[in-house]
Amino acid sequence: MNDGMYIKELLTRDAGTEGSLLIQKKIYDTLINPPLRKRIGRNRAAFVLGPSSIPGSSVDVDLTTAQTMKVNKIAEAGAVPIKVVDHTSINIRPHKYGCRPLVTKEMQEDGKWDLILYNIGQAGLEMGYNEDKIIINDALDSASATNAISTGGAMGYQDIGTAKMNLRQADFEPDTLFVGPKVLNDMENIDSFMEANKIGSTSNMINGLAGKLRGMDVVLFSPNVAPSSTYTNIAYAVDSANAFFLAEKRPLTIEKYDDVTHDLSGVVVTQRFAASYLRPLAMSKITTT
């Protein structure tokens, strides 16, 4: 085999594409992050209990029961009835959540990126998404069955009004509407938001349903932070001052460690966190199809 034939064989074998060994290439040295998910977040909680508020493994939150102090009409010389306010208590126990990114020393030495630092950032995001899942599962899904709405189809303008009415009948004021993507799509297709004599302004047409809608902040959440993908069909109308609260016994904590035996380095990311309903009647769950 002459030199020319040998070079041709190298350039056409299965290990590479013809000519690729002669073309200078640069691998883009930025790691592209996945898209951020839309979150419920903490800022809609009525309050957050920190470590100093939880001396033990759990904490009781005491509430006055609404409409338990009654005023009676009393006849002349009649006895005044004894009336006291009733109370209830909610016990909340934070649970531990965490993950443990682990990287070999060779990967640290040879890698194009700081893999430990990158994994710490991703772990932090995932812990935040886990908070949202807990809030939905343990707090928002505890909305009173009395306030539950099943649309039997797409979200309608009247369904939003019914949810608000349900809360107001229990003396709560809805100020936030959490919606999954499918529900938001239904709302954006409601004619009333596009008809000039009803819309009031062109803001929804230009920016989508952002800001306030019928007095409520519209907050989109990703079904990928919810317990399952079916939550794309779910919405919650809530009075954020009374709907749910959070308890955090251990804030997000990152601890570095080395496994000398196996020549590994990593971090342990942990948190002790819980969410609970405060007053179920301050929430209305809307299920669409």
pLDDT digits (tens, 9 = 90+) for 52-84: 999 999 999 999 999 999 999 999 999 999 999
Strands (E), the chain: 48-49, 59-64, 87-92, 95-99, 102-104, 149-150, 176-179, 212-213, 216-220, 234-238, 244-259, 264-277, 283-287
Out of 76-85, 181-190, 204-213, 256-265, pick the least confident: 204-213
In the prediction, which pLDDT does 10 show?
47
Q: What is the pLDDT of residues 9-57, one digit of tens each?
A: 544 445 555 555 555 555 556 678 889 999 999 999 999 999 999 999 9
pLDDT of 2 > 70? The answer is no
Q: How many CA atoms lie within 13 A of 82 on its CB side?
A: 1
pLDDT confidence of residue 146: 92
Cα separations in angstroms, 153 against 96, 219, 223, 283 = 39, 21, 19, 21
User: What pLDDT was estimated at residue 14?
Assistant: 52
Residues 145-201: pLDDT tens digits? 999 999 999 999 899 999 999 999 999 999 999 999 999 999 888 876 655 555 555
Chain Cα centroid distance, residue 56: 27
Model confidence at 4: pLDDT above 60 = no
Residues near 118 by beta carbon (within 8 Å), at least 6 away in sequence: 31
| pLDDT surpassing 70 at residue 6 | no
Distance CA(222)–CA(213), nearest Å, equals 19
Q: What angle do CA 195, 197, 200 make, to 5 degrees?
A: 90
In the chain, the domains with their CATH numbers are 48-66+79-287 (3.30.2320.10)
Q: What ranges in the chain are assigned the alpha helix state H?
A: 3-12, 105-110, 115-138, 157-169, 181-188, 196-199, 203-207
Q: What is the mean pLDDT of residues 227-235?
A: 97
- 237-253 pLDDT per residue, tens: 999 999 999 999 999 99
As a residue count, the chain comes to 289
Q: 10 Å Cβ neighbour count for 62?
A: 8
Query: How much is the pLDDT for 254?
Result: 93
Entry pTM: 0.84
Residue 96 has pLDDT above 70, yes or no: yes
